[in-house]
């Protein structure tokens, strides 16, 4: 299968590099940034990466992995070149399939996917929205491509893509920030960076493991919280009405969703 990936930054490179390990896939990448092209050539000699789109390209899949704000210009170039593909895929946040089709002046099926950075280690969350005009066989192929990168969840409604962008797309950053804040506070309270990392990461690992057997999170919280104990004091702060973790997380996630909604309108 011939796959053209346009934009080989963080996401495009991770995807291309994972797929290039499969013998049946031939990956061709296009990346504007010279520094990124150099890094890719150093990291993975088997990946073909060029500066500009080829004048003629015929294959099965074209994947857009550029920033949303770069798409309009890219579409103008694609229209001028002779690119023949069976399917277009887009991981760009916020740009609707209709907008992509309009810019490319095409009726070729456009599938939108919202992956997350876990794809780097084949633990990504990939939410896929298929268009109505896609063939069953193409769906099967695309599902299997993304199963190489983690789990696949099929969405039925395009509006949910902006929501999922704010949850699982941006989600790893929320978790990283939580770990960073936890680590910094642990240092302030008297531990070294090394010890902070160890006790926090092991705590998180254990807590996550416990949720496998008990999906009532409130029950797990209650098990850690003794009456008049230390956890109860901390939770009074974390769950303070109108000023707790819930309100902060909600504001953050809605800000991400609003940005995705705004990007959809801009394009």
Ligand X SMILES: NC(=O)c1ccc[n+]([C@@H]2O[C@H](COP(=O)([O-])OP(=O)(O)OC[C@H]3O[C@@H](n4cnc5c(N)ncnc54)[C@H](OP(=O)(O)O)[C@@H]3O)[C@@H](O)[C@H]2O)c1
52 Cβ neighbours under 8 A, 6+ residues apart: 30
Q: With contacts defined by CB under 6 A, name the span among 8-16, 55-63, 196-204, 235-243 that binds ligand X.
A: 8-16
Which of residues 92, 97, 129, 200 is near ligand X by CB under 6 A? 92
Pair 176, 197: CB distance under 8 Å: no
Which of residues 1, 2, 9, 182 is near ligand X by CB under 6 A? 9
Helix residue ranges, H only, the chain? 10-19, 34-43, 71-80, 97-104, 136-147, 159-164, 171-188, 193-213, 217-224, 230-238, 245-266
Q: Determine, following the binding rule CB under 6 A, whether residue 48 of this chain makes contact with ligand X.
A: no
Pair 263, 93: CB distance under 8 Å: yes
- The minimum distance between CB 169 and ligand X, in angstroms, equals 4
Pair 90, 112: CB distance under 8 Å: yes
Pair 123, 150: CB distance under 8 Å: yes
Provide the token pair at 12.
Answer: 């495009």
Q: With contacts defined by CB under 6 A, name the span among 3-11, 102-110, 125-133, 140-148 that binds ligand X.
A: 3-11
- Nearer Cβ to ligand X, position 87 or 168? 168
Residue with the closest Cβ to ligand X? 9
Pair 151, 124: CB distance under 8 Å: yes
237 Cβ neighbours under 8 A, 6+ residues apart: 244
Q: Determine, following the binding rule CB under 6 A, whether residue 16 of this chain makes contact with ligand X.
A: no
Q: With contacts defined by CB under 6 A, name the span among 31-39, 81-89, 103-111, 140-148 that binds ligand X.
A: 31-39
Q: Determine, following the binding rule CB under 6 A, whether residue 150 of this chain makes contact with ligand X.
A: no
- Nearer Cβ to ligand X, position 31 or 60? 31
- The minimum distance between CB 11 and ligand X, in angstroms, equals 3
Helix, strand, or coil (residue 36)? helix
Pair 237, 70: CB distance under 8 Å: no
- The minimum distance between CB 214 and ligand X, in angstroms, equals 30
Q: Which of 212, 211, 182 is nearest to 199 (CA)?
A: 182
Q: Determine, following the binding rule CB under 6 A, whether residue 47 of this chain makes contact with ligand X.
A: no
- The minimum distance between CB 200 and ligand X, in angstroms, equals 23
- Nearer Cβ to ligand X, position 125 or 200? 125
Helix, strand, or coil (residue 158)? coil
- Residues 258, 236: Cα–Cα separation, whole Å: 30
Q: Determine, following the binding rule CB under 6 A, whether residue 27 of this chain makes contact with ligand X.
A: no
- One character per residue 55-74, x = contact with ligand X (rule: CB under 6 A): ----------xxxx-x---x
Q: Determine, following the binding rule CB under 6 A, whether residue 115 of this chain makes contact with ligand X.
A: yes
- One character per residue 221-260, x = contact with ligand X (rule: CB under 6 A): ----------------------------------------
Q: Which residues bind ligand X (CB under 6 A)?
A: 6-7, 9-12, 30-33, 36, 65-68, 70, 74, 91-93, 114-117, 169
């Amino acid at each position: 299968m011939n796959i053209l990936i346009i934009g080989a930054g963080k996401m495009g490179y991770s995807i291309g590099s994972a797929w290039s390990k499969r013998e049946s896939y031939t990956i061709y990448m296009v990346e504007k940034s010279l520094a990124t092209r150099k890094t890719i050539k150093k990291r993975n000699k088997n990946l073909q990466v060029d500066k500009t789109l080829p004048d003629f390209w015929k294959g099965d899949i074209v994947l857009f992995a550029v920033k949303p704000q770069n798409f309009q210009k890219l579409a103008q170039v694609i229209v001028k070149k002779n690119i023949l593909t069976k399917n277009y895929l887009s991981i760009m946040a916020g740009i609707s399939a209709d907008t992509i089709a309009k810019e490319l002046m095409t009726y070729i099926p456009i599938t939108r996917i919202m992956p997350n950075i876990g794809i780097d280690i084949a633990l990504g969350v990939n939410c896929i929205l298929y268009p109505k005009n896609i063939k069953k066989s193409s769906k099967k192929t695309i599902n299997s491509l993304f199963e190489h990168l983690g789990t696949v969840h099929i969405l039925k409604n395009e509006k949910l893509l902006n929501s999922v962008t704010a949850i699982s797309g941006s989600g790893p950053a929320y978790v990283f920030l939580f770990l960073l804040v936890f680590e910094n506070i642990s240092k302030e309270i008297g531990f070294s960076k090394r010890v902070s990392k160890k006790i926090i990461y092991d705590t998180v690992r254990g807590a996550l493991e416990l949720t496998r057997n008990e999906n009532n999170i409130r029950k797990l919280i209650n098990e850690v919280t003794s009456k008049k104990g230390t956890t109860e004091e901390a939770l009074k702060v974390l769950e303070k009405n109108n000023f707790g973790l819930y309100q902060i997380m909600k504001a953050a996630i809605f800000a991400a969703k609003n940005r995705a909604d705004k990007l959809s309108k801009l394009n």
